[in-house]
């Protein structure tokens, strides 16, 4: 009836991955509205029309990327949560890890950029808004829990855990965004600076 099922699906998935990769790159750099379907198609090396064989619309691609980005971020936070380390070591590990990843992974900084753009604009698809609404608070919440646990142990600085978590996440996020726009010219600060905010010496 049809060509080999597995091959077919593999091809389809490959194409979709290509489109996603190119779209992430374009959306992260230029945003939803300045990115043209033609740009994405050209980037992948296919005709514009073919994009619509795989996605219903530009917005659909965008929404899927937003979902993936938020999920990836939250998965990382949940992994941190599950790591069998005392709270203060979780915090210092997370800081080092994130700074290193910002430094080395363009994919990661672009993901941060995509989320930042979406979070800071009211002109995004309804579905994207819902996803952000649902998912953006998890990092703050989980970090606040870790911080509170560390405070009980006496290893983490005093202060409202939610406020500390807010500073933690916005700082690292801010650094990722900063880095994204100056790849070559900058490097991340010493993790010690940030670790100092949270750990008692």
Candidates 36, 81, 130, 200; binder of DNA (CB under 7 A) is 36
Distance CA 120, CA 5 (A): 42
Q: What is the per-residue binding string for DNA in 9-28, x denoting contact by CB under 7 A?
A: --xx--x-------------
Considering only residues 9 through 68, tell me which ones interact with its own copies, judged by CB under 8 A: 29-35
How many CB atoms neighbour CB 88 within 10 A?
Answer: 22
Candidates 30, 53, 130, 200; binder of DNA (CB under 7 A) is 53
| Token pair 């080999």: residue | 4
Residue 190 contact partner, candidates DNA, its own copies, none, CB within 5 to 8 A by sort of partner:
its own copies
For residues 76 and 177, which CB has a smaller minimum distance to its own copies in the complex? 177
For residues 141 and 186, which CB has a smaller minimum distance to its own copies in the complex? 186
Q: Does residue 97 belong to the site contacting its own copies (CB under 8 A)?
A: no
**How crowded is the C-beta side of 30, counted as CA atoms within 13 Å?**
12
| Token pair 């230029």: residue | 30
Question: What string of DSSP letters covers 60-117?
Answer: HHHHHHHHHHHHHHHHHHHHHHHSSS-HHHHHHHHHHHHHHHHHH-HHHHHHHHHHHH
Residues contributing to the site for its own copies (CB under 8 A): 29-35, 113, 116-117, 119-123, 157, 159-160, 163-164, 166-167, 170-171, 173-175, 177-178, 180-181, 186, 189-190, 192-194, 196-197
């Amino acid at each position: 009836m049809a060509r080999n099922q597995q091959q077919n699906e593999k091809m389809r998935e490959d194409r979709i991955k290509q489109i996603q990769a190119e779209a992430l790159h374009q959306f992260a750099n230029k945003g939803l509205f300045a990115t043209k379907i033609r740009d994405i198609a050209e980037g992948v090396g296919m005709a514009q029309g073919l994009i619509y064989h795989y996605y219903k619309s530009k917005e659909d691609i965008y929404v899927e990327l937003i979902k993936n980005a938020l999920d990836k971020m939250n998965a990382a936070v949940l992994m941190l949560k599950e790591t069998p380390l005392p709270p203060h070591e979780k915090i210092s590990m997370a800081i080092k890890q994130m700074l290193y990843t910002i430094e080395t992974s363009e994919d990661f900084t672009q993901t941060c950029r995509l989320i930042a753009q979406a979070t800071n604009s009211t002109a995004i698809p309804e579905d994207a808004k819902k996803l952000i609404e649902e998912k953006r608070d998890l990092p703050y919440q989980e970090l606040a829990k870790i911080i509170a646990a560390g405070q009980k142990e006496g290893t983490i600085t005093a202060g409202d855990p939610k406020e500390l978590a807010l500073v933690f996440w916005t700082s690292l996020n801010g650094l990722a965004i900063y880095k994204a726009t100056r790849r070559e010219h900058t490097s991340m600060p010493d993790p010690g600076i940030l670790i100092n905010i949270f750990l008692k010496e």
